[in-house]
Amino acid sequence: MNEQQIENMRKARNDMTRFLMTYKFALDEMNTKLMILKEEFQHFHDYNPIEHIKSRIKSPESIYKKLIRKKLPVTLDSIQKNIHDIVGFRIVCSFSSDIYLLSEMIQNQKDITLVTCKDYIKHPKPNGYQSLHLIVTVPVYMSDREEHVHVELQIRTVAMDFWASLEHKIYYKYSKAIPENLLAELKETAKIANDLDNRMEKLHRAVQHIKEQDMQENEDDMNMVNINEERFHLPMSMLQSFVSKEEDE
């Protein structure tokens, strides 16, 4: 390559780096939002609906292969308009009801815009796969502009994630047709996972009901708050002032 070609290649690399940085910032932004929801729920409901979160950014090679496969132009503008899963999150919840609760909490945030929603829980894929897929946009504030970046969220239960992970391993890099009897067996295991989800959900609700009936506030904990893994004393007179103000209103 001559000097001009080298310079053009260097510019293209820098443009791609700057472009992907916006997706890295979008990942950071969404991760912060999820961590806040997780911690808030733990504090005020004594329960955490999120078991764990995995996130990733597609590599340039994966993006390029997807453009070629879809016969799309290999440009930054084409990537931005057509590839909406460069940033991906897999959010694993405890119970099926947590999935829709979390989805609602995410969508209720004013700076998040829902682009698409595919509910593979109510409408499983033919092989039995279940998950809730959301494509949303989140704002990223750069020094010279504001970008609304697409983020894919896959929300599922532990049982759904267990099934999907093993299904992927079983058929990883296997491009031939799967025999019908094996497909039927795979779908049956998905039904078993779904039955397990439903039974655990019922147990969870039953125990929660018992907890609510037995719950009595411990006076020793009445004036203590836990923030950022630290325990703080809350003056009783301060609490009484808040109560008095609310009663006056």
CB atoms within 10 A of CB 109: 13
Residue 219: is its pLDDT beyond 60? Answer: no
On whether the CB atoms of residues 165 and 129 are closer than 8 A, the answer is no
Judge residue 83's burial from the number of C-beta atoms within 10 Å of its C-beta, 0-12 exposed, 13-18 middle, 19 or more buried.
Answer: middle
Nearest to 151 by CA among 49, 27, 65: 27
Q: With cut-offs at 50, 70 and 90, classify the pLDDT of residue 21.
A: very high
pLDDT at site 234: 75
pLDDT at site 249: 62
CB atoms within 10 A of CB 48: 15
Query: 54 forms bridges with which residues in the sheet?
Result: 90
Query: Once rounded to an integer, what is the mean pLDDT over residues 229-243?
Result: 76
On whether the CB atoms of residues 157 and 102 are closer than 8 A, the answer is no
For 144-190, the DSSP string reads: S-EEEEEEEEEEEEHHHHHHHHHHHHHTTT--SPPPHHHHHHHHHHH
Domains observed in the chain: 3-215 (3.30.460.10), 218-249 (no CATH)
Query: 140 forms bridges with which residues in the sheet?
Result: 147
pLDDT digits (tens, 9 = 90+) for 113-172: 999 999 999 999 988 999 999 999 999 998 888 999 999 999 999 999 999 998 888 776
**Looking at 146, 152, 180, 246, which residue is catalytic?**
152
Nearest to 89 by CA among 159, 34, 41: 34
Q: Quote the CA–CA distance of 47 and 216 in Å, as a whole number.
A: 17
pLDDT digits (tens, 9 = 90+) for 192-211: 999 999 999 999 888 877 77
Query: Once rounded to an integer, what is the mean pLDDT over residues 230-238?
Result: 77
In single-letter form, the type of residue at position 98 comes to D
Residue 199, SS3? helix
Q: Quote the CA–CA distance of 223 and 209 in Å, as a whole number.
A: 26
CB atoms within 10 A of CB 76: 14
247 in catalytic set: no
Q: Quote the CA–CA distance of 193 and 159 in Å, as a whole number.
A: 6
pLDDT at site 185: 87
Nearest to 24 by CA among 167, 162, 147: 147
pLDDT at site 181: 83
On whether the CB atoms of residues 157 and 99 are closer than 8 A, the answer is yes
CB atoms within 10 A of CB 4: 8
pLDDT digits (tens, 9 = 90+) for 49-94: 899 999 999 999 999 999 999 999 999 999 999 999 999 999 999 9
pLDDT digits (tens, 9 = 90+) for 85-127: 999 999 999 999 999 999 999 999 999 999 999 999 999 998 8
Q: Quote the CA–CA distance of 67 and 82 in Å, as a whole number.
A: 9
Q: With cut-offs at 50, 70 and 90, classify the pLDDT of residue 174.
A: low
CB atoms within 10 A of CB 115: 13
pTM of the model: 0.81
